[in-house]
């Protein structure tokens, strides 16, 4: 039997796209989405705050802002506004794609410039959404694969530095041991936890090792004691946004990659739900990404895109109700309004984060490698694109001072391995013209 309103086969789906489960089931299904999303949602702001040497209080604010604005972004995408939002069960959060440019912009221009670039890029996406589909044709599968691979490679040095950081009474040797121990815990959890809990293996590894360090006196719980239970993020907490051309261009390029992620998830959902695959729905999804990114820049968040792991959860569980995802968005907003939670996350020692991030950053590279396996390297210069892109992406990693003599605005592009790789691959592919398209 098929639901006429949604086109979803009721024998396949536990809940169709427009079905509203009972309150208890709604809460349980929504909580499941939040559990799958949580580690990824807090990782980007936590890594950004740690790399910029934020205080525990500012780290808490950044984490809470990310959670709350992810919830707002999800509601916009799922419930929609006039001509904005796909109205698909697509949960929104900050992608790791955004981390390298956010770090680079913040280190060179300051955090207000990073948020200003996000606001500008969001506005451009909101206005230019109708032509974005055409522009994305330039991102062939090999280009997308190389961009994803380069993100993981460019972040590995961050893991190394955190793993040997010391602090909290630990020397370099002890820090390294803690990082290795954290990685070992995550590996064991990933191997032996039941399937439905494996998605929380990284979160569990971080929690257990932080607790062990706390019991041994090597974790500082002071920020947790002083944090309030309830609070809200003030707009422009880190200062009024600043707008510079180079950071804006970097963020626009970054958003073009996140739009590819949004496109893929929307196509998967529309096909699985037997819905019309309309260009208008995709444009509305892009507009939602743009508006959400603007809101994120105002409230200290970052560019947003649909999370693939939650799309996988929908296909696995058979719960396709967009109202379940909307409820998950509400839960994220509630979590974001709890500074105590943000303070708890800020208590994670650097070596613990270093050990866990090896898995997170490594899996990003693995995702890129998996995508490369789907590409025919015998045609359209794909092999050359792979070779050149891989070499170029490693230049800033191997020699961070290679472009030190260039003007600051040029360094912003040249020292970012992801941007350097993406632009180079686009140029190489344009020379060969053709190939598979997304």
Using one digit for the tens of pLDDT, what is the confidence trace for 340-353? Answer: 877 777 677 878 88
Calpha distance 82→143 (Å, rounded): 33
Mean pLDDT of 10-14: 60
- C-alpha dist (Å) from residue 204 to 186, 188, 348: 7, 11, 12
Calpha distance 327→421 (Å, rounded): 38
Short-list 40, 179, 143, 33, CA closest to 99: 40
Whether 325 and 21 have beta carbons less than 8 Å apart is answered as no
Beta bridge partners, 92, equal: 306
Short-list 98, 108, 119, CA closest to 45: 98
Q: Which residue has the higher pLDDT, 349 or 180?
A: 180
Calpha distance 277→138 (Å, rounded): 21
Residue 323, pLDDT above cutoff 90: yes
Whole-number pLDDT of residue 115: 93
Whether 80 and 291 have beta carbons less than 8 Å apart is answered as no
| b/e sequence 228-245, b meaning 16+ C-beta within 10 Å | eeebebeeeebeebeebe
Residue 304, pLDDT above cutoff 60: yes
Confidence of residue 359 (pLDDT cuts 50, 70, 90): confident
Residue reference for tokens 């695959």: 277
Dihedral through CA 201, CA 255, CA 147, CA 397, nearest 10? -80
Whether 344 and 138 have beta carbons less than 8 Å apart is answered as no
Q: Cα 192 to the chain's mean position, in Å?
A: 27
pLDDT over 90 percentage in the chain = 17
Both structure tokens of 233? 């993020």
Confidence of residue 8 (pLDDT cuts 50, 70, 90): very low
Whole-number pLDDT of residue 12: 65
Calpha distance 237→65 (Å, rounded): 10
Whole-number pLDDT of residue 196: 59
Q: What is the pTM of this model?
A: 0.72
Calpha distance 317→32 (Å, rounded): 10
Calpha distance 273→12 (Å, rounded): 10
Calpha distance 67→71 (Å, rounded): 6
In this structure, of 1-5, 67-71, 288-292, 370-374, the range with the lowest mean pLDDT score is 1-5
H or E, element range at 108: helix 99-109
């Amino acid at each position: 039997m098929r639901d006429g309103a949604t086109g979803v086969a009721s024998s396949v789906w536990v809940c169709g796209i427009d079905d509203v489960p009972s309150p208890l089931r709604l809460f349980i299904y929504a909580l499941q989405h939040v559990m799958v999303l949580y580690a990824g949602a807090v990782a980007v702001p936590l890594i950004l705050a740690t790399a910029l040497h934020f205080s525990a209080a500012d780290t808490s604010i950044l984490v809470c802002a990310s959670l709350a604005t992810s919830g707002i972004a999800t509601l916009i995408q799922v419930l929609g506004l006039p001509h904005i939002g796909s109205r698909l069960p697509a949960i929104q959060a900050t992608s790791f794609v955004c981390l390298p440019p956010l770090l680079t912009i913040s280190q060179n221009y300051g955090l207000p410039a990073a948020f200003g670039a996000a606001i500008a890029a969001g506005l451009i996406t909101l206005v230019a959404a109708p032509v974005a589909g055409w522009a994305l044709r330039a991102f062939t599968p090999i280009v997308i694969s190389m961009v994803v691979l380069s993100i993981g490679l460019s972040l590995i040095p961050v893991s190394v530095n955190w793993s040997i950081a010391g602090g909290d009474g630990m020397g370099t040797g002890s820090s390294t041991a803690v990082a290795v121990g954290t990685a070992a815990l995550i590996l064991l959890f990933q191997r032996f936890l039941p399937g439905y809990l494996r998605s929380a293996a990284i979160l569990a590894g971080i929690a257990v090792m932080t607790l062990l360090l706390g019991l041994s006196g090597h974790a500082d719980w002071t920020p947790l004691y002083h944090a309030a239970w309830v609070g809200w993020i003030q707009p422009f907490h880190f200062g009024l946004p600043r707008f510079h051309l180079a950071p804006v261009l970097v963020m626009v390029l970054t958003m073009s990659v996140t739009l590819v992620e949004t496109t893929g998830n929307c196509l998967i959902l529309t096909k699985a739900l037997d819905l019309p695959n309309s260009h208008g729905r995709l444009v509305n999804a892009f507009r939602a990404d743009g508006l959400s990114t603007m809101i994120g820049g105002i409230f200290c968040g970052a560019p947003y895109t649909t999370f693939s792991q939650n799309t996988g959860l929908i296909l696995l569980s058979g719960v396709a109700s967009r109202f379940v995802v909307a409820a998950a968005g509400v839960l994220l907003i509630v979590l974001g309004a709890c500074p105590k939670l943000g303070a708890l996350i800020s208590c994670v020692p650097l070596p613990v984060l270093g050990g866990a991030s090896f898995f997170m950053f490594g899996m990003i590279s693995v995702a890129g490698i998996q995508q490369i396996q789907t590409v025919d390297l015998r045609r359209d210069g794909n092999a050359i694109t792979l070779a050149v892109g891989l070499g170029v992406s490693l230049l800033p990693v191997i020699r961070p001072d290679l472009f030190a003599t260039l003007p600051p605005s040029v360094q912003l592009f040249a020292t970012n391995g992801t941007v350097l790789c993406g632009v180079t691959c686009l140029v190489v592919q344009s020379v060969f013209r053709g190939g598979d398209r997304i």
